[in-house]
Every structure is written in C-alpha cells, then in structure tokens.
A and B are shown apart, each in its own frame.
Chain A
Amino acid sequence: MTRFLVRRGIAFALTLWVVVSVSFFLMRAVKGGPFDGERELPPAIEAALRAQYHLDWPLWKQYLQYLGPLNLDAHRASWLGGDGANVLGGLACGDFGPSLRYRDLSVSEILGASLPISLALGCLALSWSVLAGIALGCASALRRGTRVDAAVRALATLGIAVPNFVLAGALVLVFAFAWPLLPPAGNGELRHLVLPSLALGAPVAAYVARLSRAGLLDALAQDWVRTARAKGLSERAIVVRHALRAGLMPVVAYLGPAAAGILTGSLVIERIFAIPGTGSHFVNGALNRDYTLAMGVTVVYTALVFGLNALVDLAQAALDPRIASREDA
C-alpha cells in the first residue's frame, strides 16, 4: 500500500511537470496576447502592463518564475537587490499567480469559487449515473432476453448516442417550459443542479448499464457460480454476494475515465445551464490568453484526473486481491 502510494506520488509529480511545461510553452507559442482587443492599447500602456505581469521577461525566466519555488521578481528576491520578502513563490508553493483577464482576482480565488460548483455537478452526475446504470444493467442481465432487457439496451444505446447538449436542450424544453417544474438555468440550490446533472450523467449511466450487464452475465456463467448453485445458495445470495462483486469490476475500472470525462465535458453543460463552474474558465482562459488562469485550470484538472485514477486502482485492489498482489509485486 505504502509502496503503491509512493510510486503514484512520484509518477504524479512527473506527469504534472510534463503537463505544465508542455502547456506553458504551447500556450505562449499561440498568437495574440492577453491585452489585445479590437480597440488597441497605447504602446506605452501595453508595455507597462506586460512589465507588471513579467510578460516582458525572456520565456525561460517566466517559466522558472511560474514553476517556482524561487521567486525571481527583482523587487522581492534579496539576492537580486529586492527587500527579501517573499523569496518563495510559483506553482511549487501553490501560487497560481494573478489572472491576466480578471484583474480583480487571483487564479486561486477564481478556482476556489468555481471548482466546488463543478465538483458538485460532477459528483451528482456521477452518483446518479452509477447507481442507475448498475441497477438497469443488473435488471437487464437477470431478465436476459425479455422486454426489460430490450428496453434497457435500447435506452443505453440512445444514452451513448445522443450528445449531452442535445439532451440538455430537450430537458430544458420539457421540464422548464412545457412542464415548468425546474428552472431553465441558474445556480445555488439543488433544483438548479437536477437538469444539468441529468444531462451530464446520461451517457455515463448508459455506459455503466452496458458494462454491468455484460459483467454480470459473464460472472453468472462462471464455474464458481455453478458450484454455489449446487451448494444450494439462494439466487439472491449468489448474485448480490458473489456475482455482482466480480461482475462490476469493469464498471469500477471505467469510473476513472468516466469521472475525467464528466469533469472536462462539463463545460458545455455549464454554459447551457449558466453554472459558474471551472469548465468555462478552461475554455475562456485559453481564448482570452489568460495564461495563468488556463495554466491553473490545467494543473487542477491534471491533479483531479490523476487522483481519481489512483482511487479507482485502490478500489479495484480492494475488490480483487489478485490486483493488489500484482500492484505490490
């Protein structure tokens, strides 16, 4: 377990460093800057702004300043002639810097305000879709070949095929206008999150239903299930205590990618439902050339996806001892 965590920690640090470095230089290679607009700034003003955010430095120095942990700002670092306060800084010290577009806010403030909202939406979407997906998948597997099975399979195909923004539009039409049960958009209360989490989770629920159906059918066909039946165990005990545990392994393995997909896929849903989550910053940060904000979101998403995958691996090890021993070997 400890070895597993240490290995993951090192891999995480390396991954993050690569992601940060590649994104940093890619983003600066793109044309246009944070202060460009249809109305042009006077050259002296633009130069002053660039200096304020150190965009006038050579790129390698900006990169080192961003990474930290040493703060290269000449006004601060004493060995460069500053007053010596705040010698540490940059990403290594958890400092994402100021936003270049929203000048009243730091990137940490923006992420602090938006991330909980995206996480709430993601958690709700993931939880209902996993519960519903497993329930439907099991029902379908246990009633194989019946109308229930056919209906679930049709629904699953539909759920995977229909893009979530189309579903979102349909949900708004039905539940906000034709039958005004829920608000068409907004944020702050549970009722605001119902439609977006439905739209966001639908493809995941469909996929989970398929996976759990196939997994359960596979498990029920195993020799040890026949043994259990021969021993006279009730069908209920066989399914709940034995077959399900094995049959859901593919679902658990899928949760990591599913969570990542929900996180990064939420930006469309967030826009449609006016949810001030991180998704819009992911896109707008890049479009506005808000280098620090785009980098901040990238770092957070990387950490989340990595962390979720590590969690999934732990869960798999807990469910199947064979995996745990492989990991430790």
Chain B
Amino acid sequence: MLGFPLALLGLGLAFGLRGARPRAQLAFNNGTEVPSLDPALASGLPEGRVLRCLYEGLLVKDPRTLEPRPGMAERWSVSADRRTYTFELREGARWSNGAPVTAGDFAASWRRLLDPRTGAAYGKELWRVVGAREWSTTLDAQGAPRLPFDTVAIRARGERVLEVELAAPWSSFLDLVSLPALLPVHVPTLEALRAAHPDDWQRRWLRPHALVTNGPFRVLEHRVNERLRLARNDAYWDAPNVALATLDVWALDNLGTALNLYEAGELDLLTDVPATLVARLLERPDFAPAPVLGTYFYRFNTRRPPLDDARVRRALALVVPRAEIARNVAGAGEVPAWSFVPPGIHGYAGARLADAGAESARALLAAAGYGPGGRALPTLELSYNTQGRHRELAEVAAESWRRELGVKVVLAGRETKTFIDSQRNGEYDVSRSSWFGDWPDAANFLEIFASASENNRTGWASAEYDALLAAAASAEGAARAAVLARAEALLLEEAPLAPVYFYVSRNLVRPGLRGFESNVLDEHPPKFWSWSR
C-alpha cells in the first residue's frame, strides 16, 4: 500500500537531481530563453546581451560613450568619398578552436546574413553595400542566390584586411557593424557539419560543445529555460582584461521570482523589475532608471475614417495625457513624449508636437467637421496586447479623449501574437506600439514611417516625407540633422502616430559591480564588468 507513493518519491529524486553548480561569479537575469545563439537570427535585446559575450565583431562600443572602439579590427579607415570602409584585423585573434579570425570569416558570415535562406531579420541592412541587394534578391527556384558573391563589395584582401564599399555614403555604417547580427561565425565549422549531417546541421553547430566563438566568453553549459553558464574564453585576445571567470545568464520571465532571487543573493543584476514594485524600488540606491532610446506610442490607422483626416489624428495626439501616464502609470521616471525621436541623440534637436492644449485640439476636430455643430465622431477601438501596464495606460488615454474631445473609445485587449497580426493587417483604429533604436540616430526611428517600410503599419504614405529621408541619407552632420528634423516635423503634423512617453532602463544592479555604465542603448557588455570587493 505504501509502496506506490514511496516508489514515486524515489522516481522523483532520481529524475530531479541534476546537481547544482556552484554559483557563477556574477549572475544576471536576461528575462527570457534566447531563441538562438546564431547571431544571424538575433533581433531582440536579450539575444544581444548573450551574443556580445560569445562573439566579437569588428568594432566594440565604448560602454559609456558608445563610440566605436577596436574589436576584431585594430584599425579602420573611410575613403575620401565616404563610401569605402577598410578594416584591418588584429593579429593573433583566434577562434575558440584555435583557428585565426580572418577577413574571410567576416565576408563569409555577412554572406550568410545576406542569403535569404538563413532567415536573418537584419540581412536587409547590408543592402547598402554595392551589389548586395541584387545578390540577395536574384534567386533560383530553390530560393538560393544565383549571382556569384564577388558581385557584392564585401571583399577580403588577404587574411587581415576587409573592405566594404557602400552604394552611397551612410553615416551609420559603423553602428551597423556593431550590431549583434553582424557578429562573425566560424563558417568552416558550419560547412563541415552541414556536409556530415545534412538533416540537423542547423542545430548541431550551435550546441555548447560544438559552438566555435571568438568573444570574451564561451558557453560551458546550456540548461534550457533556466540558464546559460558562460566561462571566460582564454583564447580571446583581451582575456587578461576580462575580470569575470564565470557568468550565469538566467532566462526567468517571471520578474517577481527574479526579484526574489536578487534579494536572496542568487542574482546580481536584473534587466527589468515588476511594474507594481517600481515606486518602492525607486527609493533604493541599486535601482537608478536612466533614459534609453525607446518610444511608447499609439499608431492611428490612416485608412479608416475618421482617422484618414490628419486633423483628427493630430487632435487625438494632442490630448494624450502624457504627463499623467508617465508619472502615474509608467512610474519609473519615463519622460512624456512630445516627439517621436527620443532625446539623447548627439547633434539632433528634433521637432516637437505643439503643446497647444485641448482647446486647439477641439478646433482641429471642428475644422474636420466633427464635434458640436458637426458630425459626431464614430466610436474608436483602442487595441493593446494584454501584457504589463498597457491596459491601465489605454484607460487613461481613452478617458482623456472622451473628456476633452467627446470621442467614445472602446478598449480591445488582445493576446500578443493576435495583436501583432491585427496591427500588421491594418485591423485596428488605434494600436499600442513601441520602438527601440538600434543605434543613436534619428533616422533609425523616422525610417519606420517611410511609405515602403514594413514597420509602418498605419497606411500613411507621404512622398514628401520619403524625399526628406532620401535627402538625409546623402547628407552629413548638421545639414543631415536639419533635414531629419524637418521630416519629424512633417510626421508630427500628419500624425500617423501619437507619441506617449520615452522609456527608461529598469536595471537593478548590486552595489559593487563596476563597469556597468548607463547609456541610451541600455547595452552593458559583461566584458567590462568586475566586482570592487
């Protein structure tokens, strides 16, 4: 009779005890299980945090100023016409399997990124390279590129020189080179595995024991959905300056649990905290939110009346209760947004939505023929994904639209994927959105509302706006900033969106961690971390 539960107990013990490893020198929560350790497939912040530990690109960003610093490239130069970049790789840089890191590795990795069969979200960014677009889009029946790769101006000149020629000057190229997607992989290892295991080579090369990397850390163990244990890579060129010998990257999506583990001393750094506890955490010295390049905004569906009228959209955008939302709903020091591009971009002073108050918003509506004496505005649906505080925020915004403009608004909470699907198919009136910059540049934000951008999703298309963006692409310095500011002014005037607030970082950092600097990209490479005790 007792045998059954006792047998169960024994089974449980036999299954469950994998043994614990001693705690790493530093453990941080990454918030989710990263979808892949393949740089080409990276698109989110969590992947970036892990991939920058494992791989090193041509350039590394300074953790404080975000200026490019030498990575795999020791030196780099730009030609007089600002189209050709030449990178000189450092001598002695090696992969974890002992092979030297060569210019050819970068060319092969970027070729992989450009190949549509890889499925890389960021491959398109390299289309600015001469020949890249044609190579990526001229495909045979199986979807493979038909042109030889030497038509693309990514050229390895010997072992140590990489030359990249852009079709037109582009001031953000060095920022692009620093993105996780452009990190190199050891393509010969991939090719060998592909030949030996045609069925599952795509997974095999990413297993911890098979993965060949060139960054400050390597993967010691991967416990799916729990953590990645990283160890310092002794083959890394700058290994003596990497302070941490071991590093745990946790994949906890429950922020409350992560906070418990931080309080218990198991975790040293959280990249996010529970929204309900922000107010109390703000009193502590280890929680210091700092501005980041991210905007919370509402999209208007410009294909649907009455939102096809720019005056109606601007009226709605004007009376979003930004200050109240930033203070009472977001609560971690988020900044009310009167523009789309966040502050903190060097050399860019953008346009601003005129803070003209509810009176002028009502005037705009009246001019469009709505309100007292005109037609009644139809009921609008405000949709959001049912996560975090989007609902509370939507309630505050809807109440303000009702109170100030007499617009009736119904809220529609949707599960995330359903929500995204309805947004991209234009099945909404007003839809909650956010955008984070890949690098500190206004164009990185403004380009999503170009008429050809797949991230536009509002149906808004303006030839004038597209022309301004094109003009900015070939300009430089203050002239470029001025053109982009004009584009932003047009965007706010036409208002396919209503900016709400600018995000702040929400890192909870154990005192004593050195080398963790605040910056607008919220990027903190563990290579520079150390304990001060």
Contacts and interface: CB of A to CB of B under 8 A. Distances in A.
Interface of A: 30-33, 36-45, 47-49, 51-52, 85-86, 98, 101-106, 109-110, 113-114, 116-117, 119-124, 126-128, 130-131, 172, 176-177, 180, 183-190, 192-193, 197, 244-245, 248, 271-274, 276, 280-281, 287-289, 315
B20 A189 contact: yes
A143 to B, nearest CB: 21
B252 A106 contact: no
Nearest to A180: B264
B38 interface: yes
A288 B260 CA distance: 26
Contacts of B207: 104
Nearest to A169: B256
Given A105-B203, A120-B15, 7 more contacts: A31-B421, A51-B143, A109-B203, A124-B8, A124-B12, A177-B263, A274-B250
A32 B38 contact: no
Contacts of B136: 44
B9 interface: yes
Contacts of A245: 1
Contacts of A37: 43-44, 420
Contacts of B20: 186, 188-189, 192
Nearest to A111: B224
A310 B286 CA distance: 54
A287 B261 CA distance: 26
A149 B251 CA distance: 45
Contacts of A102: 33, 35-36, 224
Interface of B: 1-2, 4-6, 8-9, 11-21, 33, 35-38, 41, 43-44, 116-121, 123-124, 136-137, 143, 198-200, 202-203, 206-207, 223-226, 250-254, 256-258, 260-261, 263-264, 266, 415-418, 420-422, 424, 433-434, 454-455, 457
Contacts of B12: 119-124, 127, 193, 197
Contact of A45 (B2, B35, B121): B121
B454 A40 contact: yes
Given A103-B36, A184-B264, A289-B417, A271 B1 contact: no
A189 B360 CA distance: 64
A187 B18 CA distance: 9
B373 to A, nearest CB: 41
14 contacts: A36-B420, A37-B43, A47-B116, A52-B119, A104-B36, A104-B37, A113-B223, A113-B225, A117-B15, A177-B264, A187-B226, A189-B20, A276-B226, A287-B415
Given A41-B121, A48-B119, A276-B224, A127 B9 contact: yes
Contacts of A42: 121, 123-124, 454
A126 B116 contact: no
B43 A183 contact: no
Contact of A32 (B120, B121, B417): B417
A110 B224 contact: yes
A150 B259 CA distance: 39
**Chain B CB within 10 Å, residue with most, of A32, A43, A51:** A32
A130 B9 CA distance: 11
Contacts of A43: 454
B191 to A, nearest CB: 18
A287 B416 contact: yes
A51 B117 CA distance: 9
Given A105-B203, A273-B257, A288-B417, A39 B455 contact: yes
Contacts of A120: 11-17
B458 to A, nearest CB: 13
A103 B257 contact: no
Contacts of B44: 37
Contacts of B251: 276
A188 B418 contact: no
A105 to B, nearest CB: 6
B16 A44 contact: no
Nearest to B418: A31
Nearest to B427: A31
B257 A185 contact: yes
Contacts of A189: 17, 19-20
Contact of B8 (A104, A110, A127, A187): A127
Nearest to B19: A188
A148 to B, nearest CB: 21
B386 to A, nearest CB: 11
B135 to A, nearest CB: 12
Nearest to B20: A188
Contacts of A51: 143
B19 A126 contact: no
B199 A86 contact: yes
A81 to B, nearest CB: 12
Q: Which 3 A/B pairs are nearest by Cβ-Cβ distance?
A: A120-B16, A32-B417, A123-B12
Contact of A103 (B202, B266, B420): B202
A52 B118 CA distance: 9
B260 A185 contact: yes
Contacts of B454: 40-43
B350 to A, nearest CB: 22
Nearest to B261: A185
A241 B74 CA distance: 83
B493 to A, nearest CB: 25
A89 to B, nearest CB: 10
A188 B18 contact: yes
Which of B226, B258, B418, B434 has most A Cβ within 10 Å? B226
A190 B5 contact: no
B254 A36 contact: no
Nearest to A98: B203
Contacts of B116: 44-45, 47-48
Nearest to A289: B417
A274 B143 CA distance: 42
A52 B225 contact: no
A86 B199 CA distance: 9
Contacts of B455: 39-40
Contacts of A41: 121, 454
Contacts of A288: 417
A39 B444 CA distance: 13
Contacts of B11: 119-120, 123
Contacts of A180: 264
Contacts of A190: 13, 16-17
Contacts of A273: 257
A289 to B, nearest CB: 5
A105 B208 CA distance: 12
A121 B13 CA distance: 9
A187 B424 CA distance: 40
B114 to A, nearest CB: 11
A112 to B, nearest CB: 9
B224 A48 contact: no
Contacts of B19: 188-189
A38 B223 contact: no
